[in-house]
Amino acid sequence: MTSVLHFQELEPEIVLLRMQDRVHKNTFSKELIDGLMDAFEAIQASHTYKVVILTGYDTYFASGGTREGLLAIHEGREKFTDKNIYSLALNCDIPVIAAMQGHGIGGGLIMGLFADFVILSRESVYTTNFMKYGFTPGMGATCILPRKLGISLTEELLINSGTYRGAELEKRGIPFPVLPRTEVLDHAIDLAREIAEKPRYSLILLKNHLVAPIRKELPAIIEQEVLMHEKTFHQPEVRERIHTLFGK
């Protein structure tokens, strides 16, 4: 699709999407955003694919907004809703597996959690660090985190910007496989092959049924997140924090 997103048909019914923006460490650069949106559009247009695997490269899964993107929101030039990548997996007709072999940071973690199946790495870091910069969460974080991880861990992640290794989350009892980094993708491929054994029509019908409540409630939650951004994102302190803390 683009140089930063590799689209591969592992098998006729299985697609592997590998995010590999090495220059920006898989932050949401324009190239990566466009690549993801084009890839999922192509997947939706197919009548063959049954399952998608979304993964990163080396030690990075996805790292959230770029410094320039965060500053653009601070200055009122953009909103995170301008290009909806956070719910690409949710809105995809067929099941999506997030093989999060590397760090999942901010919106990068949230994008992964919108997948139907999530696999984490023991060594990698997972955090929703919105409040670290002084602004309230976006990307649908306040919708998907409580559903996937429960309210207590969600409050730690969102209010306190908690940072956890996959091994720590495993001890907290999260409901996802947590494996050594080198095993994450292989596990995802095995799972994809099991899913691909099922009839495509039945997979689509069942996924649509299972995620319907999230699809229904998400727009109202996004609207509330945007309203909170309008109250929190434009503070002078936020700009200072973005400049001094980004990447640390």
Pairing mode, strands 163-165 and 125-127:
antiparallel
Catalytic residue among 6, 47, 229, 243: 229
The dihedrals phi and psi of 91, each to the nearest 5 degrees, come to: -85, -10
C-alpha–C-alpha distance, residues 207 and 248, integer Å: 38
Catalytic, 187? Answer no
SS3 content of the chain, % helix, strand, coil (to 5): 50, 20, 35
- Cα-to-chain-centroid distance, residue 115: 8
Per the DSSP assignment, residues forming a β-bridge with 51 are: 14
C-alpha–C-alpha distance, residues 109 and 100, integer Å: 9
Read out DSSP for 43-94? HHH-SS--EEEEE-BTTEEE----HHHHHHHHTTS--TTSS--TTHHHH-SS
CB neighbour list of residue 156: distance below 8 Å, 6 or more residues apart: 162
The dihedrals phi and psi of 24, each to the nearest 5 degrees, come to: -105, 10
C-alpha–C-alpha distance, residues 215 and 109, integer Å: 18
Query: Which residues participate in catalysis according to the annotation?
Result: 229
